[in-house]
Amino acid sequence: MPRWKALPEELDPQVREFASQLRRLVDRSGLSVAAVADRTGYSKTSWERYLGGRLLAPKAAVLALAEVTGTNAVHLTTMWELAERAWSRSEQRHDRTMEDIRVARAKAALGEFGPPRAPGDTRAQSPSAGLTAKRSPRQQAPPPRGGPPVGAGDRRRRIVMFLAGVVGALLVITAAVLLTDLGGSDDKPRAKPSPSPSSSAPVLPAGVKCAGASCTGQDPEAMGCTDKLVTTVAGAKVGVSVVEVRYSKTCGAAWARLKQVTPGDRLQISAGSATGESVVADAYRDTYTKMLAVDGPAAAKACATLKSGKHGCAAKTAATGQ
C-alpha cells in the first residue's frame, strides 16, 4: 500500500475530500501508481499530481479509474463536479492574490526612491551630510598648520567665488546647447533610447518556465502554466462533448480543452489571425492543445470538430455550436 504524503493545507475541503477518495480507491485496488497509470492511459506523473492534490484529475481520468477499480462512476462523478467548482473558485482567488503581489512589488519598487523633498528643503540626500551636521565644534577639522584661521569674511568670499564659477559653467553649457540646436537640422530623426531588457522582463512564479510569446507551441503542464494558475474562461457544448478555453494570466497564454472525447475528434485554439496546431484525440479522455500567446482571455477561441461531423467554438465573448 503506498504511503501518501500529506495533502497541501491550502486545499479546499471539497478538493481535499475528492483527492482522499481517489487515494482510498487506489489503496483498495492494491495497484501501484504506475499500474494505475498503465491501465488508465494517463502518465504516472499526472496521477502523482492528482493523488497529491497538486492538480485536479480530469473527468475522463476519474471515469477510467472507476472502471479499473470497479467503482460506481455516478457517485465518483458527483464528487468530481463538486471538486471542480471548488478548484475554479480557488483559481480565481489565486489570480487575485497574484495581482495583489504584483501591485505590492510595484509600490515597493517606487518606494525605494524615497518621498519627494518639500519646497525649500536644501538638505543633502547623501548619508554623509547628516554626519557632518551632527559634529560638535571639537570634531571639526582644525585649520592647516602654518596659516591663520579662516575668518567669516574669507568663507563668504569663497562661497561667492564658487557660486560665480557655477553660474559661469551653466552659461557656457547653455550657449553650447543653443548653438548645437541652431546649427542642426530639425528634419533629421533622433534616435530613441532603447529600453532596458531587464526592465521589461516578467517576474515568474517558481515552476513557471515561459510567459507570452515564449509559451506558444509549448505544453501547458510541462511549462508549469496549469495547477492553480489556469482558469476556464469560456465553454460550449458540441454534441455530447464540451469545448473550453483555458487561460493562464501568469503565462499570458491560452489553450483548448475537449471533454467527453471520442477518438477522431479534432481540437484547435486560435486568437485573431494566429492559429495553433490542431490536435486529434486518440483515446476516450480529455484532450488538450498546445498553448498560444494571447493579449487576454477574450482574445482566445477554442473550436472542436467531432468525428460525427458536429462543429462548435467557445470564446469569452460568445459561444456557438451546431
CB contact at 8 A, 79 and 21: yes
Cell of 102: 504584483
Q: pLDDT per residue over 88-120, tens digit each?
A: 887 777 666 666 677 677 777 776 555 555 555
Higher per-residue pLDDT: 125 or 280:
280
Nearest to 234 by CA among 249, 219, 247: 247
CA 109 → CA 105, 112, 115, 203, 269, distances in Å?
Answer: 6, 6, 12, 13, 37
Half-sphere exposure of 183 (CA within 13 A, CB side): 6
Give the burial string for 23-62 (b: 16+ CB within 10 Å, else e).
bebbeebebebeebbeebebeeebbebbbbbebbbbbbbb
Dist CA 217 CA 220 (whole Å): 9
pLDDT at position 96 is 66
The 10s digit of each residue's pLDDT in 213-264 is: 999 999 988 888 886 668 888 989 898 788 899 988 888 899 899 887 888 8
Count of CB atoms situated within 10 Å of the CB of 108: 9
Reported as a pLDDT band with limits 50, 70 and 90, residue 319 is very low
Q: How far is CA 94 from CA 106, 118, 123, 291, in A?
A: 18, 40, 45, 21
User: What local confidence, expressed as pLDDT, does residue 3 receive?
Assistant: 67
Q: Average pLDDT for residues 69-77, to the nearest whole number? A: 91
User: Does pLDDT of 185 surpass 90?
Assistant: no
d(CA 211, CA 198): 15
